[in-house]
Amino acid sequence: MGAGWGASDWLAYPPSKDFATQQANVGRKGSWRAEGMSAVPASVQPRCSTSNDARISRLMSLLSSKRAAPGATGPTSNLEFPPAAHDIFLGKRRGDGNNTTCNIRGLRLCQSGGLEVFCMLKNRFIQRWGGGAIERWGIGAIAAFQLWQLSEHKDADVVRLIRRIRRERKSLQSAFEAFYVYSLAKTQSRLPGELAEVGVFEGATARLICEAKGDRALHLFDTFCGLPPDSDKDLGIHRIHQYACDRRSVETYLAGYDRICFHEGRFPESTLDLPEQTYSFVHLDVDLYESTKAALEYFYPRMTPGGAIVSHDYSMLAGVQQAVDEFFAHKPERPIEQPTTQCVIFKQ
Ligand SMILES: C[S@@+](CC[C@H](N)C(=O)[O-])C[C@H]1O[C@@H](n2cnc3c(N)ncnc32)[C@H](O)[C@@H]1O
């Protein structure tokens, strides 16, 4: 194929000389089809003129010209798009074709604003191994693609920072998620109020927030002996004491930053001695229903107007999603779901 093919294109659709075989796949379950007025779905049409998007544009023209069904024109073109990546890698898919009901989302191909690959691991078996080799390998692979994409158009120093932190600490955040945490913390640190994170583990996202916070104080809450017991809302995915990390190791890692306050212990008990203050940015990464609920109950009334609470794993972990949805069901704010696993709420 031409120079337009990158590594992620091979993941999405290993190129084949046999276009007839590909055309025979038209209508196969899980295949992608052209949408609307264009042979290329709106969600994947090139959007701006970065070099990355220019490459994608070339790729899409190539696909359009070579893969349209014979005789097909315009809006009803039978252009066949790549099968979902998990069809290729896992060889199976359960569900009725509606992605939200797929049990194995596995490595899933998404196209968004000219960035072509985003993979998700949403399988309870894999999640039970959370923090283990499978999930870390999966997220590491995702992060590698995402870092490549970010490096096309984001500040090189921020991309380098995310890459370095990934090398230095274990983390289950994708590169897009890490970027979002950094970017939001930086913006929010201009508002009055302090910053906080509940769920620190080895300090990967805490380090990003440290880089973004300027002279604001950052409060870090964790048991530092891993997850507390889960509830039935968490579907048995996690193990008690999973993600244990010695507090001293995190203190050493963040030693170069001022105004970092560690609050060791189970949240919300760890807030008992905390003086009253307001917050402009809170990052929740606690994995569990009860912990998420407790954190929202504590922080929501203390948020500065315009302050942001961002939660990791909103679209990945049932307990987290339930806690957020229940909490905001009768509040004026609504959780804004991100293309990543995160959701964000801005206090009115
Ligand atoms: C997935 S890890 C956090 C990952 C981290 N943000 C990173 O960037 O790698 C989840 C953390 O939440 C902490 N945690 C969960 N519930 C908690 C609670 N109720 N109180 C204190 N810590 C809690 C666990 O100890 C664990 O370190």
Going along 118-201, which residue ranges are E strands? 194-198
> Which helix (H) or strand (E) covers residue 220, if one does?
strand 218-222
Other CB atoms within 10 A of residue 125 CB:
10
Q: ∠ at Cα 138 (134, 139), nearest 5°? A: 120
Residue-by-residue pLDDT tens, the chain, 348 positions: 333 333 333 333 333 334 344 444 433 433 333 333 333 344 434 343 445 556 545 544 544 443 444 444 433 333 333 333 333 333 333 333 333 333 334 334 444 433 333 444 566 666 665 556 677 778 888 999 999 999 999 999 999 999 999 999 998 899 999 999 999 999 999 999 999 999 999 999 999 999 999 999 999 999 999 999 999 999 999 999 999 999 999 999 999 999 999 999 999 999 999 999 999 999 999 999 999 999 999 999 999 999 999 999 999 999 999 999 999 999 999 999 999 999 999 999
Residues for the chain: how many in total? 348
Distance 301 CA to ligand 1 centre (A): 22
Residue in the structure block whose two tokens are 């999640």: 127
For the chain, domains (ranges, CATH) are: 7-118 (no CATH), 175-346 (3.40.50.150)
Tell me what pLDDT residue 16 has.
39
For ligand 1, whether the C-beta of 209 sits within 6 Å is no
Tokens coding 263: 């609050």
Tell me what pLDDT residue 229 has.
97
d(CA 192, CA 207): 21
Does the predicted model carry a pTM greater than 0.75? no
Distance 222 CA to ligand 1 centre (A): 6
d(CA 66, CA 54): 18
Q: Best of 179, 201, 254 to mutate for ligand 1, by most ligand atoms within 8 A of CB?
A: 201
d(CA 248, CA 268): 21
Residue 193 phi/psi, 5-degree rounding, is 120, 165
Distance 200 CA to ligand 1 centre (A): 5
Tell me what pLDDT residue 121 has.
56
Q: Best of 181, 243, 341 to mutate for ligand 1, by most ligand atoms within 8 A of CB?
A: 243
92 within 8 A of 54, measured Cβ to Cβ: no
The type of residue at 263 is H
> Of 8, 270, 254, 259, nearest to 115 (Cα)?
8
Tell me what pLDDT residue 132 has.
61
Strands 343-346 and 303-311, bridge-based pairing: antiparallel
